[in-house]
Amino acid sequence: MSKNNMSKEHKNYLTSIKKRNKTILITQIAVLILGLILWEIAAHFKWIDTFLTSYPSQIWRLFINYTKNGNLFHHIGISVFETVIGFMGGTLLGFVVAIGLWWSKFWARVFDPYLVMLNSLPKTALAPIIIIWVGAGYSGIIVTAISVSIIVTIMNMYESFVSVDEDLIKLLNTFGATKFQILKKVVLPSSIPALINTLKINIGLSWVGVIVGEFLVSKAGIGYLIVYGGQVFKLDLVMMSVFILAIISVLMYRIVAIIENKFNRW
């Protein structure tokens, strides 16, 4: 619908929605800034132990120093690379396996208890075993990230596939549609919202896998900075790494949210 064809009431409604979204964004930023100011004031007046908590201005100075010598971007680049590969690998593999389980009800029933068992296991506890099997370095960390997200992807997508309206499937069967046509025309389009939600979940899970892997074997990356800062009691380095991790995670989440908006409009 073009803007010229919109009614006055509809235009006012859209304007009110935009204003509300702007107000929410401004409030979110204000809460963050207020929290940082209170943190800085508490450190200045010695209300908190800055050795344990650090404070924003000190974290900012450390960030500038690491940025100038180039080390920070090296660590960020490694962690982002590992996370993106683990995120894509876990999502794609889980998606393919979910399609296979939907295709064969026999194998879906066979693997159902194993999927429940694997989903209940703490994946991070298996990280040392995975790294020993795959090897230390990038490969072990990436496989750890994949192992954390793949089971969730399988279970979420398979549940979405089997929840598709049975009447639509029966209608296509009546007209002689093949299973592949049913998958392409009904099941996959109906499961796009579930896929988007799975992508949002997998962002956090992939970061968990990468950080745990870097805790164990990495010589570079955000997880390495956190471990190193804790070992030498340089907690401003730990806090800086945590802030960077949070910012990158939010940016990746926003990318998925933009994709979701495009699909919703489509």
CA angle 159, 193, 202 (to 5 degrees): 75
Contact between 165 and 106 (Cβ < 8 Å)? no
Walk along the chain (266 residues) and give the pLDDT tens digit of each residue.
445 566 777 777 777 888 888 888 899 889 989 988 998 898 888 888 777 778 888 888 888 888 887 778 888 888 889 899 988 998 999 999 999 988 888 888 888 888 888 877 777 777 778 778 877 777 888 888 888 888 889 988 888 888 887 878 788 778 877 888 888 888 888 888 888 888 888 888 888 888 888 888 777 888 888 888 887 788 888 888 888 888 888 888 888 888 877 776 66
> According to the model, what pLDDT value does residue 5 have?
64
> Could you state, in order of their start, the residue ranges of all structural domains in the chain?
3-44, 50-265
> According to the model, what pLDDT value does residue 241 have?
87
Q: Name the pTM for this structure.
A: 0.79
Q: How far apart are CA 10 and CA 180, in angstroms?
A: 42
Look up the CATH architecture of domain 50-265. Answer: Orthogonal Bundle (1.10)
Residues with Cβ within 8 Å of residue 215, at least 6 apart in sequence:
223, 226, 227
Residues with Cβ within 8 Å of residue 205, at least 6 apart in sequence:
90, 145, 148, 149, 152
- Per-residue CA distances from 191 to 38, 111, 157, 198 (Å): 45, 21, 7, 11
> According to the model, what pLDDT value does residue 266 have?
60
> According to the model, what pLDDT value does residue 30 have?
92
